[in-house]
Structures are given as C-alpha cells and as structure tokens.
Structure 1
Amino acid sequence: MDPISIIGLVTEVSNVLASLIKYGKAVQSASSEVRKLSEELFALKGILEHLDAQTDDSPQREEISAGQFDRDAMTRVLYTANELLQSLLAELETPETKFKHLKRNLKWPFTQSQVNEHLIRLERVKSWLILVLIADQNSADRSLQQEINDLAAAVKEDLQIRDQERNKAANKELFQWVAPVSPESSHLRASKRYRMRTGGWFISGYLLGFLKQEKERTLFLLGKSGTGKTTLFAQTADKLTSMASQDPSMCVAYFYCTIGDHASQVARNVLGSLVAQLSGTDPSILSDIRFTYNKVPRSQAHRFPIETSVLEAAIVKCASKKSQIVLLVDAVNESRDMNLIEESLVRLANSCPNIRVLITTTNVPSSTKIDGVSVRNISQEMKGDINIFIQWRLETDEILKNLTPQFKSEIETTLLRNADGSFRWVQLSLDNLSTQRSVRAMREALRALPGTLRETYANTLERIPANDRKIVREALFWTSYVKQPLTLRRLNEIVVLDETSKVLDEDMMPIPAHILLQICQGLITEDQDGCVILAHSSVKDFLTSDWIRSSRVKYFALDPYTADLRMMHRCLAYLCLDNFSHGYMAAESPLELREKHPFLTYAANFWPEHGSACGFSNMIMVHKLFDTRFLPGRGNYATWLQMLFRQNFKSIEDNEAIDATHPLYYAASFGMAPVVKSILKSDPNIDLNAPGGRVGATPVWIASLRFNFEVVEILLDAGADPTIRDPGSGLNVLDLLRMVPTVGRNYRGLRPILARPAPWKKNGKE
C-alpha cells in the first residue's frame, strides 16, 4: 500500500474543504449542505491520516496487511475516493479563480439529490476504511470480512456510476430524450435499507443458478406489498454490478418504477434508461438512436418520443457483443405500462440467448404461460432475512438495545410468528415498541400488536385527530396519484384548497411548514430530493383496497377511478384563483410568482394530463379557465399560458400570441378531443384555420404534429384545411404523411383520416 497515495488524498480532501468553506461564506442558502459535506470530509481526512500513521514498509507489516484485506480492493477504494474528490473539485473549482468577482453571483452547484448521493458515497468509502482499520488477522470473523468485501463491492459500483455519469455528460441532450428518468436516486434510497447478511438465500443461491441455466430467461419475483422486494432488488443489482465489474463481457442495467413519478411508469422511459446504462460499456449502441435524434428538430424533440422498437434494437445490438446482459426492473406493477414493459422484456429475453431479465411485482404476470418465463413467490422465503432484521434492530436501536436478553427473545419470537413474510409489518411493529416509555408499556404493546399490516395502518389512521383528518386525507390522495413528486411547499398549498376557494393566502398555510409530515403519522415522508412521497407502496395498496371501504377508517379510502378527475378539477380551481387573475400585465416575474406559489408550475403543466386520463368527463372548470381570457390582461388564462411559455410576463411576443390565440388551438395541441368538440358546438362560426401560438400555426397542424389524431379527425370533419403551411417549418399536414418512413416520426395514423371525404377536398386541395 503506497502511503503517498493516502497523503495525496488528504491533500485533496483539504482542497475540497477549502472550496466548501468559501461557498459557505458566499452562498448562505447552501449552509446546511456545506456543513454536511464538510463533516463527512473531515471524518474521511481523519481516517486517512490514521491509516497513513498505521502504514510502514516493514516486511512484517506487509505480511499482516496482506492477510487483513484485499490489497486490490484497497487500491480500488482509494481510487474511488480520489474520483469522488476530483468530481467535487470539478464542480467547485470554476469560481475559485475569480472568487472575489463572482462572490455576489455565486450559486451552489449541487442539487439536493446530488448532495445526498455524494454523502452516501463518502459514507461508503469511510465505512470501508474504518472496517479495514479495526480488522485483525487473527480475530476478524467471517461476518466482518464479509462486510468489508460487500462495502468494497459497493464502493466499486460507485466508481462505475461515476463512469456512467461521465458518459451521460458527453451525451447529455441525447440522454434527456432517451432516458429522462434516472434510477440512481431510487437505488441509493433502496440500498440504504438492506442489512448485511440478508438476501443471501437468493443472491448466492437461486440468482447464480438462474444466470447459468438457458431454459428460463425471464424471472418474476412475486410477493405482496411489504415483503421487501425492492430491498432484495437493490441487493441483486449491487451483486450483479459487482460481477460485471469483474467481467467486461457481462453488462447489467436496472430501473425502479415508483409511485408518484409518472415518468418512471412509462415503458419507453424504462427501456431508455436501460439502454443509457448499457451504453456505458458499449457506446456504439447509441449510433442508431443518435441518427434518429439528429433528424428531430431540437425545439420539438420532446414531442417526438422514441419508439420502443428502436430501444429494443439497441439492447439486442449490445447483446451481440456481450457474453451476458442482465436487465432488472423493480415494481413493474406500479407502472401504467405494466403489460407493455413485461411484453418487451420477455420478448428481448426470448430473442437473445444471452439476455436474462428479472422483474419484481405484486401481480401474477400475464406472461406466465410463455416459454422461458418463471415465477418465484418470495413471501415465505423472507423469514430468515426478517429474523436478521429483527436482531439488528434489537441490537442497534437506542431504546430496544437496553432490554434484557429474555425480553428481546420474546419480541423476536412474537414478530417472527406473526410476520407472515411482511418486512413492513415487522418494521412498523418495532417502531411502535421503540416509542413506548417503559418496559411494561412495551409488553402491553407487544401483546396488542395488530395481526396484519392493514390493521397496523388502520390503527395509525385512527390516531389522527378529527381536526387533521381532512388535510391528511388530501395529503395521502395527492402523494398517491400525483404525476410528478411534489415538494412539501407545493403539497402544503394544494391540500388546504378546495374547488370553492377564491383566493390563497399565507393565513391558510399549515404551520409550521413541516407539520404535515408529523400529522400524517409516518404514512408520508420526505425523500432525499426534498419531495414528499408515500412511506411505502403498501400504503397506497391499503388506501385503495376493498377492505378499507367498509372499515372503521373508510373516510380515508381512495378511489383510483375518480382520482384524475378530482386532480384536474383541483388544478383548474387553483389556476382560477384571484391570485392569478392579473394576466400578463403583472409586475412580478414568472420566477417570483412560482416562488411565491410553488404549486403553480404543477397545475399549469399537468391539468391537461389529468384531464386526458379521465376523458375530460366534466368540462365546467376547463371552460371557466378559458373564459378568463376576457378579463384585463387575459386574466388567469394568460397566467396559465405564460407559465407554460416560461418567459417574462412583460414579453411582447407572448402577449401578442395570447391575444391572438383562441383556446381551440391549445385544446388541439394537448389532444383535448372532448373540449374541442365542446368549443366547436358552442361556436359554429369559429375560424378553424386561425393562426395560434407563438409561431402562428393552425389547430389542425399542431394536433397532427403532436399525434393527436382524434382531434385531427374532428377538425377536418368540421372543415379545417390541412394544406395550410406552418410558418415555422414550412410544412403542412400532408407533408407529415409523407414522412411516415422516418424512424421515430410515425404519422401512419394520419393516412386513413386524410383518405376520408372531407370539406377541404371539395376545394381541390388534395
């Protein structure tokens, strides 16, 4: 072991600390992040200095060191530490040369998610080095050695993630198109939950056998919500990633479908993320995708989503160059495209003998009868892991670790007997015991433990005071069905609102701001990105179950069939508040308005999506928003549009576009077929070909461009002219039809619509 490398790392730590201290003085809003990173770095520096003091060149020391840990592993860990430090320095060094000039405008370069990821990686490096220091050749037991090896593998995975991040930086725009959702935050969160020595029954046993055999190439891990599937999935991903790091011919990619993040539930985003990860070891698989992307106008790239067939072809291409590819997708049951994802992954596995697929789900998959597919129910196989988890909590919890061995044994026996394979039930039961204030109270709580997870949740909801029940129900509703995770400030705004509200002010806000997390009794939590999410997917399963509808807590039952309609109405009610009636004549900038009313961004962007999901079955609120365009400055209608434009409220171009554009244009643009019909019915003399938007396109053009073919048919039947050219591109709808062969721009759906008799044909414009 080269002591110079350790000394060099100490120097690098000092350099990063110096930069952080400068940021701490200049960027007051980042003081918390600076403090957390500094604490970890000071701790790492101390460990490195101690390790350096323990190291010498004597043969005896060399012999002992060789027996204590893998020298190659030590090299990798030190190398990873250096990579991490260099990454931090790269983000911090730009302002350092001109610090005095930039101090006033200095901005903290890390998001909350990036800070948390750096903290976790620093903790891993630090933990590994600590274990090395305390390990002794003669006394270190197997479990300690295993922890050292496991941490070394995790640290090495961090290095691979850094390689992928560099690859992403080089292909940033392309990846934003192909893989808009990253699994890294979900993986880091899931990895923190598993304990050493758990999962061995699967990872060291069944998994390795699955990889070696050739008959069954797709494996579904089935288990009810709360059995620990996601934690086992994270362990599996770590193990396979470690194996791939030792074998360049092997490649691994994984993804997490999550409640509350609509984008993570879309099939093309799932496959796109897998492709992006595979490209880390084989960049050439991006060549066809890049060719497709380069044909798409940059301003319209997000309107032309990549086809899943192109992504599947990239994976097959990668498989042709590797000995084995393993694809993993967690919680596919939480995806709206569940069947599409299953079909695609099974098809890939069956088409290539060296592709293996592992999927976790709570539902029996529809593809069970397809050759090459196997299902393994893990609910009853988690008993050993649950036992390890119970022992770990009893040994480490600040309250429980002080109990007598006899009472600990009683707790362990009781929980194991009643767990029924549910990690979540055991965790909540232990949480309940640790909150008791005496051993007697713990014994009573142990005897009175609810027998099932649903009874546990019911008891939790019963404890909520009557005055808080409405706001808790709203919080649970929004965190269960939101299309994009909400920050606490955004959630606070919408949970206090109803459809009769006229104004929103500070007096209505919950105080203190974080009280919502407390009154929800642990059913919701704040993740590392500062977003509020359900504490566990089983919470939503419980709230939408048949059982709760006739239970003592039926007040909190959620109806998935009316969720999007309720959310559309609530978003529109929010947009119609008097707070936003000023229109484009407001003196505030969009940034200031979004800061003051954080839910505004979500409401503006997602009410059409909620509306599409419910078929715009009730359009009263839609027309209410559209009718505000008759107010001075186009009222709430203008505020909504300028939130979409994300331009300055005083932009002359935006004002002119809003003044000149009828709501029909935006209804066509968003594919609001029922709304388009309603507008045409209410105004038979409307100019169907009136230019709209900032470019001056017709409604039928924008509907065609964005694949809203039902709207195209409605407009053509009403007399819209598809031959009028778009001022921005110079093309018309007929030109789009001729672009059918272009990969990624599939307008085949226009052919039968344009072939039908229509008013525009009578004028000889075919």
Structure 2
Amino acid sequence: MDPASAIGLIVNIQTLLLSTYNVGQDILNAKDEIRKLAIELSALKASLEPIHLVYNFSSHEKDCKDALSILETSNLSSAESKAMLRLTEDTLTDLSNRLQTGSNQSKKAWQKITWHFEKAEFSSLLERLERAKTWFVLAATTDNVTLAREAYEGIRNIDRMLQSREQRNSELDNIQLQNNVRDWLASRDTEDCYRQSLDRYQPGTCGWFLDGVFQEWICGKDHPGLWLKAKPGFGKTTLIAAAIDQARKLSETSATKIAVIFWFCSFTEQSVHNSQNILTSMIYQLCCLKPSLFVELDRLHPQQKGPLSTLNKNRLSSQDLLKLFVLLVSGVDLVLLVVDALNESENSNELVETFNDISRTCSNVRFLISSTDSAAMDADSSKIRIVTTDTSTNVTDIDLYIQSWLSTQGKRLKIPADIKGEILTNIRRNSNGVTVRTIQDMQNALRRLPRSLEEYYDSALSHILEQDCSLARNMLLWLSHARRALYFEELCEAVALPEGRAFDESMRLLRPNDLLEICTSFVNYDPRSNTITLAHSSVFRFLLRARTIGHSREKFDLGWNSAEYAVARYCLSYMMLPEFAVGYVVKDQFLARRKAWPLLRYIGRTLWEHLHNIDTSGPIQPLLLQFLNSHRLSRGGNFGAWVQACNPGMLENKLMDTTPLYWAAREGYLSLVRILLSSGGKKDLECPSGRFASTPLHVASWAGHTEVVQELLLAGASPKETNSSGLSGLYMTRIMGHRDIEQLLEEAIRKSRFGSG
C-alpha cells in the first residue's frame, strides 16, 4: 500500500468532517444524519491512522515501528488494498461534491433549508463508509491473506449491489421526474397521430418534396422556415409524417444530431392548437429526446417545494414558455420544429409569429409548417420559404397509389388489364390533384369520377339509403361538433338519442358496426384507439356550408349555430335521464354507471364547452335551469351525477357541496353566472365548493376571469373569503399574476372596511 494515498484520504476525511459540521449548523432537520455521518467518517479515519504514523516516526518511534510492520504485511501490500483505497477515495469524492455549497445565492439559500441526500442514498453512503472501515481494520489486524481477499470481494459485491440499487432508484426517479414534467406541462401525446399518418404513406411517393425541397431546406441556411401550401385532400398530413420520419432517420446517420419535435393540428379541436399548448408539448418532446433536459427543467425551479406536478400550468404564459423553450434548445445541435395543418388553429398568425421569434433567437432551430393554399396568414419571406402546389405536382404520386391499388385489389377482383389501363387514365385525368382513396363503383368511376371533393361528397351523400339518413345525420352532427375524438361506443349511444323525447334501452343500436358502413366515405375509425372521427377537415367544411347544392345535401345541412345548439341540448337531455336523478354514487356504482352509459364520460368533460358556444338565454334556458337546480336534490341530483362524471376522484363531501355557481365562475361563463344569480343563485355566493372548498369569487379570481369577478362582487360576494388551505382569493390572484383582479379585490376590501367602520 502507498502510505501517501492513505494519508491523502485522511486529509480528505478531516476536510469532510469540517464541511459536515458547517452543514449541520445550517440545517435544522438533519441533526441525526449529521451525527451518523460524522461517526462513520471518524471511524474510517481511525482505521487509517496506523499508516499515518509512518510519517510521524521522529516523535513516535515505537508507533512508527508498529506501523511499518503493519504496512509490510501481505494484506496491506496486496492489489485488493490498492483497489479498496480507490473505492474509498471515490466515495469520499462523491460526498465532498454533495456537501459543497452552491455558487449562486438562490442555490445557497436552498441548500440551507434542505438536506443534501435522499433517505435511501444516505443509507447507501453510510454502508459504504462502514464497509471500508471494516476492511482496513481487518486487513491491518490479520495475517490471513485469503480471509482479507474474501472480505474485499464481499465488500465489492455489497458495493455492486448498492450501485445497482442506486441505479434502479435513479431510473425510477427519472421516470417520476418525466411524469411530473408531463403532468405539469399538461403535454398532449402527438406520437399516435404521427404513426397513424405515417401508416397511410405509400413508399416511393412524395419524392418531389422529400428528395428535393425538403433536403435543400434542411441542409441549407437561407431560410429557417419552410411552409408547404396545398389544396384540401392533397395529402399534406401524410407528407408531413413522411418528412418527420425522414428527418428522424437522418438524425441516426448524421454527425449532427437532429431533435425532431412536432404537432398535428386538427379541425375537431381548433381552440387547443395555441402557442401555449404547442410549446408545452414541444418542451416535453425535447426533454424526452435529451433526458438530461428533464434535470435542467427541474433545476430551473429550485424555489418550489415538492414535485413539479404541484405547479400550475397557468403560471407560465406563452412568453414564459417561449423563454423556457429557447433556454432548453441551446443545448441541442439542431432542432426541427414541425406543425401540420396550421390553418386548423384559431391562433395561426400568433403561431407563425412565435416561430419567427424562435428562429430569430435560436440559429439552431428550423421550422416546417403546412396549411391549405387558401390560408391567409402573415409570413416573413426573408425567414420562410413558401412552397405551393398545383394539380401537376403529385401526378406521379397518384399514379403510384392507383397502380398499388390495382396490383392488390385489382388482382383480387380479377379486373382485366384493359380496364385497369382505362381506370388509370381516367382517374389521372379527373383527379384534379386530389388523392381519392375509395372506388366503390368501377363503372361509375370510369364514366363520371368526381372532379372535386365537393362533387365527391355530394355523390357519397346521395348514395346513403333513405332509412339511414336520420342515423347518418346524427352521426355527422356529433362528429362535426365533438370536442375530442369520440370512442366508438360513445358515438353509438349519441346517434341513438331522440330529440325532445325520453331515451330507453330499446333505442340502442342492434348492430353498431352498421355506422361504419353507412358513412364510410366520411369517417375514419381507428381500431387501435377505438376512436372515430371525420375522415378529413374538408368533410367538416363541406357539412357546415350554409348553401345547399341539390337534393342530397338538404337532409344533412348542418348550419353552425343550429348544430351547436342541437348538440348542447342532446347533452343536457342525456344528463336529465332518470338514471342520473339519484345523484352521485359510491365508486363501484359509478364505474358500473359509466360502463352502462358510455356517453357519460364524454359529457362529463365537455358539457361546459358545448354550453359556451350557444345563447343560454334562449329556448334552452328552461332545460338548463332544470338541470342546474337539481343540485338541491338528494346527492346533488342530475347535476351531482354530472359533477362526479367530470371529477371521478372527488370525495363525497366535496361532491355534496359543489354548486352550479361555482362551476360557472370557475369556467368563466359570464352569461350563465348572470342567469344563476338572477334565478336564486345568490344564496350560493359564499358556498365553498370544489377540491379546495373555494367560493365562486375565490375560484374565479384564481382562474383569472375578470368579468365574472366583477359580477360576483356586484352581487355581494365577500372578497375576504379563504379556501380550505387558508389562502385568500387576493393572495392567489397575486400568485397567478392577475393584476386587474387584484385591484378589484383590494378596492372591494377597502370598501368593506370603510362600511364596517
């Protein structure tokens, strides 16, 4: 054994003992841990003292002889001894790093109130120190080489077990951190949409873009942005998915690692596609591609106690998220940001400006977006290269698709070669640049293939049988106005609901799969997720046009306002069914109820969204008030059943206390707040509701609904009320940064004090 190495360890231990003492002066809740650590360090130091005596021979001659005798033993001169010294040195170095004080003020302050170790890793550290001490004592007091080696191997095995346990704990911690970040950001999963779109990709197609424009752009530096514009039905989403796939493959083979992050907009959830949601999703995707960013994201919030999931996403505005995104991408070589169908977002111009801001700030970020050719959005030509298409752009792609279809389905149907040639010629001539994927009638396709999607959809409607028209109309109504993709069983129940009449079991569909046959040209069913949606955004626009072309459209004309009103009325009528009049129920009964009534899950989450889009002061008001006033019945009546469907995990006492005024205030539904206040709802002004027993004014203040706060204050709501955590509305408003509401509450508090004086 090298005495200098052992003495170096002793010096390190002395320094660590001093650091441990200093740390112990600051942290009040770790006295026991500090004591245990000091004891183990002192014991380890004592086990190394015989070696230290070698360098003190001038004043301790007898001790020196003893020490030299010990060093000459085979145990301390063995390879195991050197390895044990290295192992101990690594442990002490790790401990030293953990006990160091941070360089910045916030980190120093944070370390003064928190212990540096989790319970499991602290126990692991103590075990390592104790094992090292035991080995050095054993090695110095026995001449049995075999015994010493066995002891060393035992300690090494224990160390491997501890390292394995630490690794597992670290992996679990990383998974928990990822889940916390995802929950905090409320990130939406975009991978499924990407996979579904890529499944529709025909190999060999889209070469004009993927092998040309896309390659030039991704490898060039002239324009950070690339904007693909094409007519509806062109196949933009499939092309974008193929571009993402190609970029991912390029990242695997390129020296420059490309982080590909993406978002697919959808016509069914236009309000969701805003810069806040897109940035949160992309931040999460970026962290998944580079897991070290999860730790960086955690480090950015040292002032928060508890996991990131305790934070509220409303604290981060779009600007805050933009700053966070810019900070995180600085550690990545190249980031490719992809957004499909930008025209389906209500905030398209805002998103384009956000992308421009990112590209101006981050030279390593490029963005690819797609939209319809008619989309009117501002674009900086110096930042964005715009690619437009016409009917000749994808002629080769259409040929490949038709030939693929003829080689498979044509062979199965035994279509003659000359007919195949005629099909190819006619479809190529009449497709008008749109990829038509269904040929129901070969002869009709040859004679009068629709020249546009408009004609195609009209033709498809005309083929729906008379007895199926009512069912088809209800199906298209729900799919056009649903706030998310419907599960198949939800749609089956929704289309069977009678308008203005009671619903009973006899009205359920005998053969639910018939729905897929009735509207096969208009819908897309995904068996993996068991969801059903409109096949394309062009179907949505076709159904909502006010004008009527021919007799086929009249039965399916879905004007926006009347359709929104119809869906909202269906939702209320459903919740007023006798099954729900008994109110909220125990957990087992609730699970059975939700299984027996599939649409309950959807309405529980989206009822307020449907009501937001209609005039509730019109003919629907009596039904709406009947539903809301049922909360005074036993167990909340029909309203209580809905609250439970909206919040399945809410405790029974919270369900019992929840009022309609609370929900209207929470959602910022001003017109409904006024209706409730004018119809006897003032008695619920100070009624605590929800998970945190908040008053309507408290929850409206927290959510930032200024007009609702004004209305509640005018009605006499107290600005001083606190929730079950003892937090006032004014305090929460300050935390959330709602300055205008803060001023309203401060003024109301001043007035109440003046009046009481």
TM-score by length of 2: 0.70
1:268 aligns with 2:276: yes
Matched-pair contact (CA < 8 Å) for 1:285–1:314: no
Distance 1:600 1:463, change over 3 A: same
Summarize the alignment of residues 221-236 of structure 1 with structure 2, pairs less than 5 Å apart. 221-236=228-243
2:224 to 214, 217, 222: 217
Q: Aligned equivalents of 1:617 and 1:168: distance in 2?
A: 49
Q: Deviations over 1:223-268 (max 9, x none)?
A: 1211010111111000111111223432211121224356863432
1:253 aligns with 2:255: no
Summarize the alignment of residues 606-625 of structure 1 with structure 2, pairs less than 5 Å apart. 606-614=606-614, 616=616, 618=618, 619-625=621-627
2:677 to 652, 669, 680: 680
Matched-pair contact (CA < 8 Å) for 1:689–1:721: yes
Structure 2 residue aligned with 1:555: 555
How far 1:422 sits from its partner (Å)? 0.3
1:644 aligns with 2:646: yes
Structure 1: gaps (5+ residues): 1-163, 434-441, 740-744
How far 1:398 sits from its partner (Å)? 4.7
Structure 1 residue aligned with 2:631: 629
Matched-pair contact (CA < 8 Å) for 2:265–2:340: yes
Q: Aligned equivalents of 1:690 and 1:286: distance in 2?
A: 41
Q: Deviations over 1:163-207 (max 9, x none)?
A: x99987750131133253111111111111111111111111111
1:731 aligns with 2:727: yes
Q: Aligned equivalents of 1:354 and 1:299: distance in 2?
A: 30
Matched-pair contact (CA < 8 Å) for 1:221–1:375: yes
1:348 aligns with 2:358: yes
Matched-pair contact (CA < 8 Å) for 2:180–2:308: no
Matched-pair contact (CA < 8 Å) for 2:266–2:344: yes
Structure 2 residue aligned with 1:372: 383
1:203 to 185, 210, 219: 210
Matched-pair contact (CA < 8 Å) for 1:368–1:374: no
How far 1:596 sits from its partner (Å)? 0.2
How far 1:760 sits from its partner (Å)? 4.7
Provide the secondary structure at the position in 2 that maps to 1:556. coil
Structure 1 residue aligned with 2:737: 746
Q: Aligned equivalents of 2:750 and 2:380: distance in 1?
A: 50
Matched-pair contact (CA < 8 Å) for 1:330–1:361: yes
How far 1:684 sits from its partner (Å)? 7.9
Provide the secondary structure at the position in 1 that maps to 2:336. strand
Distance 1:506 1:685, change over 3 A: closer
Structure 2 residue aligned with 1:603: 603
Distance 1:173 1:498, change over 3 A: farther
AA partner of residue 754 (structure 1): L
How far 1:746 sits from its partner (Å)? 3.3
AA partner of residue 411 (structure 1): I
1:699 aligns with 2:696: yes
Provide the secondary structure at the position in 2 that maps to 1:727. coil
Higher deviation after alignment, 476-485 or 311-320: 311-320
Q: Aligned equivalents of 1:208 and 1:606: distance in 2?
A: 43
What fraction of aligned residue pairs are identical, expressed as a percent?
Answer: 28
1:316 to 326, 330, 336: 326
Summarize the alignment of residues 482-521 of structure 1 with structure 2, pairs less than 5 Å apart. 482-502=482-502, 504-521=503-520
AA partner of residue 458 (structure 1): D
Q: Deviations over 1:602-637 (max 9, x none)?
A: 112211122223464543332111122344443212
Q: Aligned equivalents of 1:230 and 1:167: distance in 2?
A: 33
Summarize the alignment of residues 183-582 of structure 1 with structure 2, pairs less than 5 Å apart. 183-247=190-254, 248-261=256-269, 265-286=273-294, 289-290=297-298, 291=300, 294=304, 304=314, 306-362=316-372, 363-369=374-380, 371-380=382-391, 381-399=393-411, 402-423=414-435, 425=436, 427-428=437-438, 431-433=439-441, 442-502=442-502, 504-527=503-526, 528-545=528-545, 548=548, 552-582=552-582
AA partner of residue 485 (structure 1): A
Distance 1:617 1:600, change over 3 A: same
Distance 1:542 1:477, change over 3 A: same
Distance 1:287 1:459, change over 3 A: same
How far 1:706 sits from its partner (Å)? 2.1
CA-atom RMSD in angstroms = 3.1
Matched-pair contact (CA < 8 Å) for 2:427–2:449: no
Matched-pair contact (CA < 8 Å) for 2:187–2:284: no
How far 1:517 sits from its partner (Å)? 1.2
Structure 1 residue aligned with 2:43: none
Provide the secondary structure at the position in 1 that maps to 2:500. coil
AA partner of residue 424 (structure 2): E
Q: Aligned equivalents of 1:443 and 1:408: distance in 2?
A: 11
Distance 1:617 1:385, change over 3 A: farther
AA partner of residue 269 (structure 1): N
Provide the secondary structure at the position in 1 that maps to 2:394. helix
How far 1:418 sits from its partner (Å)? 1.2
Q: Aligned equivalents of 1:576 and 1:315: distance in 2?
A: 46
Provide the secondary structure at the position in 2 that maps to 1:622. helix
Q: Aligned equivalents of 2:384 and 2:562: distance in 1?
A: 35
How far 1:414 sits from its partner (Å)? 1.1
Q: Greater Rg, structure 1 or structure 2?
A: 2
User: Of the two structures, which has the highest relative contact order with CA contacts closer than 8 Å and spacing of 6 or more?
Assistant: 1
AA partner of residue 342 (structure 1): V
Distance 1:166 1:471, change over 3 A: farther
Structure 2 residue aligned with 1:55: none
Provide the secondary structure at the position in 2 that maps to 1:219. strand
Q: How many residues align?
A: 579
Provide the secondary structure at the position in 2 that maps to 1:225. coil
Provide the secondary structure at the position in 2 that maps to 1:532. strand
How far 1:307 sits from its partner (Å)? 2.7
Q: Aligned equivalents of 2:569 and 2:403: distance in 1?
A: 49
Q: Aligned equivalents of 2:427 and 2:268: distance in 1?
A: 31
Structure 2 residue aligned with 1:589: 589
Matched-pair contact (CA < 8 Å) for 1:222–1:377: yes
Higher deviation after alignment, 683-692 or 177-186: 683-692
How far 1:292 sits from its partner (Å)? 5.1
Matched-pair contact (CA < 8 Å) for 1:178–1:306: no
AA partner of residue 288 (structure 2): G
Q: Aligned equivalents of 1:707 and 1:550: distance in 2?
A: 48
Q: Deviations over 1:308-349 (max 9, x none)?
A: 223322332344233422111111222333333232223212
Structure 2 residue aligned with 1:667: 664
Distance 1:727 1:297, change over 3 A: farther
How far 1:459 sits from its partner (Å)? 1.3
Matched-pair contact (CA < 8 Å) for 1:565–1:617: no
1:710 to 697, 707, 711: 707
Matched-pair contact (CA < 8 Å) for 1:498–1:573: no
Q: Deviations over 1:522-547 (max 9, x none)?
A: 32232120011112222212212355
Higher deviation after alignment, 704-713 or 282-291: 282-291
Structure 1 residue aligned with 2:147: none
Q: Aligned equivalents of 1:752 and 1:720: distance in 2?
A: 16
How far 1:646 sits from its partner (Å)? 1.2
